[in-house]
Chain A
Amino acid sequence: MMHTKIVLNSRILIVDDQAANVLLLERILQQSGYRNVASLTDSRRVMEEFRMFQPDLLLLDLMMPRVDGYAIMTQLREWIADETYFPILVITADVSSAAKQKALSLGAKDFLTKPIDTTEATLRIYNLLETRWLYRELHAQNQVLTEQVRESQQQLEALRAEFARITQGGGLPIR
């Protein structure tokens, strides 16, 4: 199974306008063993923070003044498209089906309902990060192996050519 250590090294960005929520989430993450956590209470700074921090997961509050969670997901669309799998975990007190569908269509991968439950928060964050790292692993291995298969095929071509040279050039008689 996926190594816990890899998951715990993930970079997590929290975006929530309420400082109390941010503190709670930070404490939950710290207790779970995550060490790379950054937080924002002013959602207008999210793009800037994204570029600097390059998170592996976004914990996003939906209801925020000025720039809300939906607007952030819309802003992040290009960023998400470039990634194989970028998890956004949406925190919401609004449990209407329409709100959920809208968040999903904008790229949310799962939900956490307020008030936040420690166990569920830990679990959901872990599950989404596990999926991200599995995609990464598959992708990385594919690249390495594609390169190696190409190299191996080149060598085999050389082998064939060399073999043909010896057998046809009269060096080795074909029995």
Chain B
Amino acid sequence: MDKSIILNSRILIVDDQTSNVLLLERILQQGGYRNVTSITDSRQVIDQFRIFQPDLIVLDLMMPKVDGYAVMIQMKGWIPDHTYFPILVITADVSRPAKQKALSLGAKDFLTKPVDAAEVLLRIYNLLETRKLYQCIQEQNKLLVGQVQPALQNLNVALAETERVAQEYNIPTCQINRLRNAIVEAATTIEVLGQAADNHSAATGDPSDPVLLIAESHGK
């Protein structure tokens, strides 16, 4: 179990029955969750979603005025594309059409009333774990893509500078060929790295730094 998931995740509870909210809050607190917000008036859900920015919503299906289905429809516009946002639906209604409808609107899993503490914690943790995995893959991907472009640019500058200086000082081609090849080879590796990043990735190292050093020392 990854404790950081429990310590850092923000959970929003939406249930019109105060006793349910209190029970869920107590279960989450005992499970170690520290960032929990609840609303009993489902009309406030979008406001709360924007202010609190939860990682997961625990949502009651049967509520007056705005029910769980309506909440999920409203939420659709607020969940950014390519984001895994888990909605855990609490329901006493176990009919198959009700479940299918909730799933089609974005529910990721169910909790049946009366809720069981172990299952509440388990299901919430599992969904948060999946969210974190998606985030990990996306963030590291972004980081890497951010490093690839500057690294390639630096290599191109180094290459151009090498050619320019060679020409200016009339250095024979054979003498700079090895340097030129080394630069092209490094650029190819970095490009492959970028492609791997595009296919979802996690990165280690900082390929741009050494290249930057070379380009700078060359420019001096």
What is the interface of chain A, defined by CB distance below 8 A to chain B? Answer: 1, 95, 97, 100-101, 104, 109-111, 113, 117-120, 123-124, 127-128, 130-131, 134-135, 137-138, 141-142, 144-146, 148-153, 155-160, 162-163, 166, 171-175
A172 contacts B204, C-beta separation under 8 Å: no
Q: Does B183 contact A (CB under 8 A)?
A: yes
Q: How far is the CA of A148 from the CA of B204 in the complex (A)?
A: 10
Known: A1-B84, A134-B133, A146-B204. A110 touches B122 (CB 8 A): yes
Across-interface contacts of B112 in A (CB, < 8 A): 113
Known: A137-B137, A166-B176. A124 touches B99 (CB 8 A): no
A166 contacts B127, C-beta separation under 8 Å: no
Interface SS of chain A = helix
Using CB atoms, name the residue of chain B closest to A135. B133
User: Which chain B residues numbered 101 to 144 have a C-beta less than 8 Å away from chain A?
Assistant: 103, 108-110, 112, 116-119, 122-123, 126-127, 129-130, 133-134, 136-137, 144
Q: How many whole Å from B91's CB to the nearest CB in chain A?
A: 11
Q: How far is the CA of A138 from the CA of B117 in the complex (A)?
A: 31
A155 contacts B204, C-beta separation under 8 Å: no
Partner of A148, one of B123, B192, B200, B220: B192
Known: A95-B116, A141-B196, A145-B196. A104 touches B122 (CB 8 A): yes
Q: How many whole Å from A84's CB to the nearest CB in chain B?
A: 11
Q: How far is the CA of A158 from the CA of B189 in the complex (A)?
A: 13
